[in-house]
Structure 1
Amino acid sequence: MNASESSRSPEYSEPDHTVSDSFADGPVFHSELKRVLFEVDVPENGKQGVLDALAQSGSDATISTDQLPVSRRTFLKKPGTLVGLSTCLLFAAVLAFFWVTRQPVIPLAKLSPELNLDSRFMSEFDRNFATSFPAQGGWHQKGLLNFIGQTYGLSISESVVHDAAVRFFRLSSGKTRTVYGALLQIPASRVSPLPTLTSFDPGKVEYTQLGKGNYATVKWVEADQVYVCIVFGGARELEALGRALQSTAA
């Protein structure tokens, strides 16, 4: 029997060969092979070549981690895609800006005592525009008018922000009489048409009689703001307020 025939002995089986191959691919086999390499003399650079070959078993992880930078480079090589994405983002930002800032115009006639000026149902002003007292007259003089509570916000239109700022005040007039009123402020760009008056003038007044009481209203435009003074009462209450403001201005 020759050598080739002796290699085909009945003791050799295919399953044993498969198990050997699996063992050769395992970490135990690699460790054992490395140990033998350092104990056996091999040609120059031969040992390093085998070790490098064994290191290729971890190449799959290296390739998978390098795929992301390659995909980013591929994406950056497409300027049309970047320009399109940037344009879409800019367009969305512009739409959002105009959606928030675009507010409907309020008719001047709506700024009247018919508004619900019950502070119990009003919230604090959201400060979407700068508030200030009228420059003319004594509105800003301390001690003349006693402003009650905080500055409230009034929603007149379907705007997502408050349309007007409201301050409630009282004026002591004599020993027994007190004048109560409200001062509304709204940007002039939100009102149409603008009032014809440019200052508080009690001689130009609108009187309104409602089920909840009598009211006197004066509207004027000052700089870029429209002011509306609503006095809870009639001519006598409005005249008392006018005298107080004019005396301070003089």
Structure 2
Amino acid sequence: MNTSEPSRSSGFPESENTDSGHYAADPVFDAQLNRTLFDVNVPDGLRETLLKSLSDHESVDPVSNSPMDAPRKRFRHNPNILAGLSACLVFAAILTYFWAARGPVIELARFGPELNLDSRLLPEFDQHFPARLPEQGGWNSRGHLTIYNKTYGVVAGTAGIQDAAARFFRLRTGNNRSVFGALLQIPASQVSPLPAQTSFDPGQVEYSQLDKGNYATVRWIENDQVYVCIVFGGARELEALGRALQSASA
């Protein structure tokens, strides 16, 4: 058995064109390799240039992230930016609230006798806007005209919210006869187009003949509210109401 043969149990592969162990045991080759490596002429200043280049490269890496990190740090630590953002969010929330409270715009013609004005079926008004009687025309006077205290909510649009506040009234005309009607109040911002009249005017009337009876409707605007008076009857009943309001306001 030849004990001088090198062991082949190593896990590293050997090159097919290399005689293993030949150069490692050759001192002449080692000397030539050392002279080749260490006798190379190195230009002056090369070492300092390489070291400076490495130092510059290491300092560039943290700076490369600064354009992205700096705005984040300024945003987190600048109270003015945070306060401005908070103010914008609060303002957007307020606009959203008022937009929702304002409700949809509904055609003025929708507020008429075609609505369900049966007090037995109407809910109580939810008071999402102040309900009040007209200031002009004698609606607040006491006499033959009785306006009932309870206020109901009327839905005229498709959003399912109460668009108008409704109060019912009764006018005693004598001979045990009475005229009945309803007074609707709608915020002017929810109605289009707005009425041209600014007070109750029996001369600006719209008559309707429906299956459930005859009606006379008068619409006007006062301040920021639109009022719709619906009389259950015709021209005679409307004239009686007009005379009563005129005498009360005189």
Q: Structure 1 length as normaliser, TM-score?
A: 0.62
User: After superposition, what is the alpha-carbon deviation per residue over 1:153-192, rounded to whole angstroms, capped at 9, x for unaligned?
Assistant: 1111244642111000101001221000000011111111
Q: Which amino acid aligns with 1:169?
A: F
What code does the residue aligned with 1:193 have? P
Q: Does 1:120 align with 2:120?
A: yes
Aligned position for 2:141: 141
Partner residue in 2 for 1:228: 228
Measure how far apart 1:223 and its partner are.
1.3
CA distance in structure 1 between the aligned counterparts of 2:188 and 2:204, rounded to whole angstroms = 19
Larger Rg computed on CA atoms: 2
Determine the structure 2 residue equivalent to 1:242: 242
- Alignment of 1:110 with 2:139, yes or no, is no
Q: Distance in 2 between matches of 1:181 and 1:216?
A: 9
Quickly say closer, same or farther: Cα 1:175–1:95, change in 2 above 3 A: same
- Of 125-134 and 175-184, more deviation after overlay is shown by 125-134
SS in 1 for 2:246: helix
- For 2:208, give the aligned amino acid: T
- Name the structure 2 match of 1:212: 212
Show the counterpart of 1:193.
Answer: 193
Which amino acid in 2 is paired with 1:134?
P
Two-structure CA RMSD over aligned residues (Å): 2.6
Q: Assess if the C-alpha contact under 8 Å between 2:183 and 2:230 holds in 1.
A: yes
Describe the superposition over 1:99-154 as per-residue Cα deviations: whole angstroms up to 9, x where unpaired. Answer: 52241111111111101111112111111111221111110002342123511111
Deviations 1:51-109 (A, max 9, x none): xxxxxxxxxxxxxxxxxxxxxxxxxx944899499479647734642452241111111
Say whether the 8 Å CA contact 2:231–2:237 is kept in structure 1.
yes
| 3-state SS in 1 of match to 2:120 | helix
Unaligned runs of 5+ in 2: 1-74
Q: Is the 8 A contact 1:205 1:217 kept in 2?
A: yes
AA in 2 matched with 1:108: L
Contact 1:100 1:160 in 2 (8 A): no
Q: Which amino acid aligns with 1:218?
A: V
Q: Which amino acid counterpart does residue 123 of structure 1 have in structure 2?
A: P
Structure 1 residues 66-215: aligned runs within 5 Å: 78-79=76-77, 83=82, 86=86, 90=90, 93-94=93-94, 96-98=96-98, 100-148=100-148, 150-159=150-159, 161-215=161-215
Distance 1:202-1:95 versus aligned 2 partners, 3 A rule? closer
C-alpha distance in 1 between matches for 2:234 and 2:157: 28
C-alpha distance in structure 2 between counterparts of 1:96 and 1:226, whole Å: 24
d(CA) in 1 for partners of 2:235, 2:211: 18
* Closer/same/farther in 2, CA of residues 80 and 118 from structure 1, 3 Å limit: farther
Deviations 1:185-221 (A, max 9, x none): 1111111111111111112111000000000001111
The 1:94–1:149 alpha-carbon spacing in structure 2 relative to 1, beyond 3 Å, is: closer
Unpaired runs of at least 5, structure 1: 1-76
Equivalent residue number for residue 56 of structure 1: none
- How far is 1:226 from its partner? 0.7
| CA 219–102 in structure 1, closer or farther in 2 if over 3 Å, else same | closer
In structure 1, what is the Cα distance between the partners aligned to 2:98 and 2:136?
34
